[in-house]
Amino acid sequence: MRYIRPSAIWTKRGDRVSKKEKKTKGVITRLFADMGKYRLRFWIVVAVVLVIKLCLAAAPKVASLITDSMARFVNTGNYDWGYLLILCVVLAALYLVGYGSDGFINRSLVLISQNLALTLRNRAGQKLNRLTIQYSDNHPLGDTQQRVTGDMVNLSNGIESTLPSLLGQAILMIAICIMMLFTNVWLALIFIIAIPVTLIGLRIIAVRTKKQFMKTNAQLGKMNSLVSDTYSNHTVVKAYCRVDEKEAEFDEMNKEFEKLFIRSRFTSGFMRPYSDLMAKISYILLCLAGGIMMLNGTLTLGEFTAFLFYGNMIGVPIAELSVAFNNFQDSLSSAGRIYEFLDEEEEPAEAPKQELDTDRLRGEVSFENVRFGYTPDKTLMEDVSFTAEPGYTMAIVGPSGAGKTTLINLLMRFYDIQSGSVKLDGIDTRDLSKHNLRGAFGMVLQETWIFDGTIADNIAFGKPGATREEVIKAAKLAYCDSFIERLPNGYDTYISEENSALSAGEKQLLSIARAIIADPKVLILDEATSQVDTKTEEVITRAMQEMMKGRTSFIIAHRLYTIRNADRIIFMKDGDIKEVGSHEELLEKHGYYAAMYASGISAE
């Protein structure tokens, strides 16, 4: 569609988290599926980590053999130096493999995490263009930004930093338990009994932590939404003296975020002390039991030394697991929010029955017995019918909430009707693809949209590949060539939405130039002069009149004197068309339009 950005209406709502995405298993399964070709590399990393941790777990056993060999030398005076040398070489090799492969693991996980983040960001970018208009109407901008950016970073950091710790320490703990069993079953039972008790406690803490992390991330999204809305409309906020109110609103959100953050960190903070406590208790029991067994002669010095090593070693994975699991919960929370966004309803797949030739389009628009409601149980329009002849100017007026913008939404198929038909040149718009349909329309809205780029780029947005001559011609027809030439770099002057020296009226003229260069067959002008002064309004009105020549046009306006020359005026109220006619015809009826016009004249 040659389409000049419709204003997005962001409304606050509670954060929705589906039950399916709350399940850790489901999120992990989807993450693994999205790794794509890097799944093989991931399994290679798992294999390498497995080998590394087995080497580290085997090292104390080799050290125990060295200790026992030296103890025999002390007791008997006999020693096999060749055997000792082999054991020392094996021990050195185990530690070399155990600590020398971190570079490969780190590089591999960086590649995996960044590829996964790239995949999800690409899908999120595509998703933004396929979302329904309802999503835009019902989701705050800041929360969406948090899911697409902040949560992506949190997820990739979790895979890059937290996953190796979680995976490695889990394997190390299992390997240590196996080596303990091979060394001495009875001493191993001390730790084998302590580990499930520790993990059960950690699991209880982790469940509570995950819920709190999800609430914290949701609150952060709401804060981002408020910051985005306030900053993008800071002039309005200041103009209406709402700075203190916005500051108070942000302070309230910030305090709630602080409370949720502290609560989540406080709960997760129990993981490390709890695991350390259980490890120390196990270590004390190990020393006591090992000492007794050595005195009884059922445990050698080397075996006892190995268990001391294992006792110190197993405390590390249990403690690290608690921290890593805690951080991984945060990353999974972000992943759940990302997948919830990716699972949002999209525009349904289309199977157009006809194709519109926009070059031969006459511009006849008709509504026939249209029935529509934003929700199935609440009907807004009932049996709405009218026809706009090719080249006609149709003005749509009525009180706020009458359904004026809804009428345009149905025409553009931002929403689909429940019954009846909307036709363009006799073709039901539902038989056309939305891209094909919207290509026939151009829009100039109340809220202008300027993107980062030159003035020429902003105008040429309406027609990709437009030449400089076409840009200048459109600017002259829109009466904005004069102020553009006065700028330091003319058409090459860099402007943006947040940082622009252009007035509201000049931005509106650029929007009109953008619509002119698109050369649409049907125009939609939504309150295009409502934000400018009278003098600027006259210029914009002349530009719009120039643009509407030979085109079917729909004008939504509150200033009734601006649409007196319209071919047809549609007066709407409560979603229904109450009156249709020219300005003079409607005044003679002394109905809704006449009453509003008289009220508007007296107010002016």
**Given this model, what pLDDT does residue 536 score?**
66
What is the rounded distance in angstroms from the CA atom of residue 36 to the CA atom of residue 29? 12
What is the rounded distance in angstroms from the CA atom of residue 265 to the CA atom of residue 39? 32
431 contacts 437 by C-beta, under 8 angstroms:
no
Percent of the chain scoring above 90 in pLDDT: 3
pLDDT confidence bin for 319, thresholds 50/70/90 = low
What mean pLDDT is predicted for residues 101-124?
Answer: 85
Structure confidence by residue, pLDDT tens digits, 369-404: 999 888 777 888 888 889 999 989 899 988 887 888
What mean pLDDT is predicted for residues 256-267?
Answer: 82
Q: What CA–CA distances, in Å, run from 71 to 64, 125, 291, 598?
A: 10, 67, 17, 111
Picking from 383-387, 461-465, 499-503, which range would have the lowest pLDDT averaged per residue? 499-503
Hey, is 433 helix, strand or coil? coil
Top-confidence residue, 422 or 356: 422
What mean pLDDT is predicted for residues 135-152?
Answer: 79
What is the rounded distance in angstroms from the CA atom of residue 219 to the CA atom of residue 211? 13
**Given this model, what pLDDT does residue 523 score?**
87
Statement: residue 531 has pLDDT above 80: no
Structure confidence by residue, pLDDT tens digits, 3-35: 333 333 333 333 444 444 445 678 888 888 888
**Given this model, what pLDDT does residue 422 score?**
92
**Given this model, what pLDDT does residue 12 score?**
37
Count the neighbouring beta carbons within 10 Å of the beta carbon of residue 265: 14
For the beta sheet containing 576-581, the strands, ordered from the edge strand earlier in sequence to the opposite edge, are: 441-444, 522-526, 552-556, 393-397, 568-573, 576-581
Structure confidence by residue, pLDDT tens digits, 186-196: 887 877 787 77
What mean pLDDT is predicted for residues 505-511?
Answer: 82
Helix runs in 233-300, H state only: 234-239, 243-268, 271-296
What mean pLDDT is predicted for residues 97-106?
Answer: 79
**Given this model, what pLDDT does residue 498 score?**
64
Count the neighbouring beta carbons within 10 Å of the beta carbon of residue 576: 15
H-helix or E-strand spanning residue 524: strand 522-526
Give the chain's domains with CATH numbers: 21-342 (1.20.1560.10), 359-603 (3.40.50.300)
Structure confidence by residue, pLDDT tens digits, 541-554: 777 777 788 889 89
pLDDT confidence bin for 112, thresholds 50/70/90 = confident
577 contacts 571 by C-beta, under 8 angstroms:
yes
Statement: residue 362 has pLDDT above 50: yes
What mean pLDDT is predicted for residues 487-502?
Answer: 78
Picking from 225-234, 373-382, 515-524, which range would have the lowest pLDDT averaged per residue? 225-234
Which of 111-120, 531-540, 560-569 reaches the highest mean pLDDT?
A: 111-120
Statement: residue 239 has pLDDT above 70: no
300 contacts 62 by C-beta, under 8 angstroms:
no
Mean pLDDT for the chain overall: 79
